[in-house]
Structure 1
């Protein structure tokens, strides 16, 4: 999980993962998508591979990258605790706002 978090800390790598969520991508497509030179794209792809976030397969002369959902599912599971905490707090805020509106309405 640590490697995935470090990999996703970079905005270019997050953009790559977001694109991969829609389906497999060739290295050349990433080159056209990102405003960085090909060696930079290769470095970002290596980081994503080493973090276990992407798989790569060779198809003739092309390398095709696809997203590995398992590390993202692990992150989602870890974040679920924090998500529940924020949902509880937002629900409490909503209740207080509604209570305040009700009290203002009854004093008019």
Structure 2
């Protein structure tokens, strides 16, 4: 789904489902999203002449790609940190069930 093209109610609903936050915080997140989306270009074209020139060059001519700055420019990743608070138990089957479920349901 192209969330930037969705209606305001759909966007707020998605934010609410994902974050589980109350309406006040959802509205803050929504306002931030709308401002950022208004600045973004979603058509895939470069935003500046410099970026266009950089995209046309082979990776080895783009500054080596070894610096942290070059890596951030080339690739943008989203990361999820999951914390699992395990129950206090001596029954190993509880832990086995939890980790089996994680293995079966997480895409890694």
More strand by share: 1
Same fold (TM over 0.5): no
Higher helix proportion: 1
TM-score where L is the length of structure 1: 0.31
With the length of structure 2 as denominator, give the TM-score of the two structures: 0.31
